[in-house]
Amino acid sequence: MKLSLNKEFFYQLFFTFCVVIPFFNNYELSFISWLLALVLTFKKSYSTSFLRYVSYFIFIFILAFIVGVFYQYRLYFVIRDITYLLKPILGLFIGYQFFNSTIKNPFKFLLYSGLAMAIIHLALVGYGIVFQGAKSVASIREYGGYFNDYEIYTFIILLFHKKFQVDLSTKRYRLFFIIMGLSTFFYLARTNFIQLVILFMAMKGWLILDKKSLTIIGTLIIASVLSYTAIYLYNPKRNGDSVNEFLYKIKLIPLEAFATKINRNDWKDFHDHYRSYENVRTIEQLTYNDSYILGEGIGSQVDLKQKVRLGDMDLRHISILHNGYMTVYLKAGIPGLLLLFGSIFYFFRKQSSVNDLDHNINLLFIGTGLFLIISYWVFMGFYNLLDSKSLLIGFLFSYKNHLRKITY
């Protein structure tokens, strides 16, 4: 029997490669791979709505570049910042260009790339647990990965596969659900669990405010407050078992990113509130240097006043922070922040729908806007070096444009 592989299969393989490659934490390789994909998938035309959206990130880049011209930074840090600030622009364009009308089912196309990512993730988790004896939350995440926003989007596509017109047999749906559900759980990432809830609510229409949605949101807020209170009173231990370790991380949520007074000489206090410390030092530095309006441009770094173990390096000066808002503020100042806010609230604009698929993409975009508010605060949003969700968002912009073209 002759094996026949069509063009869409190789297209799917290439797209999946672009989705997966950032996960392995080699940004140089990811950046080169994405540049290659950008060239190979080049399109001659783009929708006005897409260009309007991506222009927010282009203007942030231009602002940071212009400001950086007035400083003298080492060429290495300038080039590195250029690649960092180009990441969301590259991802959005690549995702947009990957969509074409020959793809039989665009949402199945996205789903399969997420499924591949889930299988890879579970293999890494299995290796860590079985062969390396990983038992704690920290060690499991060290081997399996810390988060994957793209995979959560595709898990939502699976959960609402009928809405997205993805035809799956009951047997295949259950298999995919087990694989992607387990993978989602084993990221043990608070942000991903929040993302899942937000996107689920968005697809149910509960983020479009009316009496029913306000009741649901109010109930969820009350339940969250009560749950957090119970965890706080339980007082989970940092070095307890895996359950206690995870509950301890939940307990830290309101404090981890919002503390303003951190004792650098107390390892526990400094570690628990390190993300806040980055923010505090950024504001202190920009205020001291009188650069709090326009930032300090491409090539700038934050002085942490002491060496901190980040990944596999001890660093005192860092070019990017965990907080996306503060990173943009450092590079492009208040104008950059306003542009970043504009890119988030773009998704809350009221948009008409030409059919059910277009309507469901709009619902997903509303959820994306709400999630990005949190994502930029916690883990860099579209600027995160390990993230691929900009590919999916760009892809959906292109698919929306196609739906409108074939309707009118």
Buried-state track 206-230, b at ≥16 Cβ within 10 A, e below 16:
bbeeeeeeeeeeeeeeeeeeeeeee
Which tokens belong to 219? 């109930």
pTM: 0.92
Determine which helix (DSSP H) or strand (DSSP E) holds 308, and give its type and residue range.
strand 302-310
How many other CB atoms sit within 10 Å of the CB of residue 30?
22
Q: What is the pLDDT along the chain (408 residues), one digit of tens a residue?
A: 344 457 778 889 999 999 999 988 889 999 999 999 999 999 889 999 999 999 999 999 999 999 999 999 999 999 999 999 999 999 999 999 999 888 999 999 999 999 999 999 999 999 999 988 888 888 888 888 888 999 999 999 999 999 999 999 999 999 999 999 999 999 988 889 999 999 999 999 999 888 888 898 898 889 888 888 888 788 787 766 677 777 877 777 766 666 677 777 777 777 777 888 888 899 999 999 999 999 999 999 999 888 887 777 788 888 989 899 999 999 999 999 999 999 999 999 888 888 999 999 999 999 999 999 999 998 889 999 988 999 999 999 999 999 988 876
Which tokens belong to 258? 């919002």
How many other CB atoms sit within 10 Å of the CB of residue 266?
11
Which tokens belong to 147? 């988060």
Q: What are the residue ranges of helices labelled H in 260-323?
A: 267-272, 274-288
Q: Cα 363 vs. chain centroid, distance in angstroms?
A: 18
Count of positions (residues) in the chain: 408
Residues 6 or more apart in contact with residue 167 via CB below 8 angstroms: 105, 108, 161
- C-alpha torsion sign, points 199, 204, 209, 214: negative
The DSSP result for 160-204, as a single string, is TTTTTT----HHHHHHHHHHHHHHHHHT--HHHHHHHHHHHHHHT
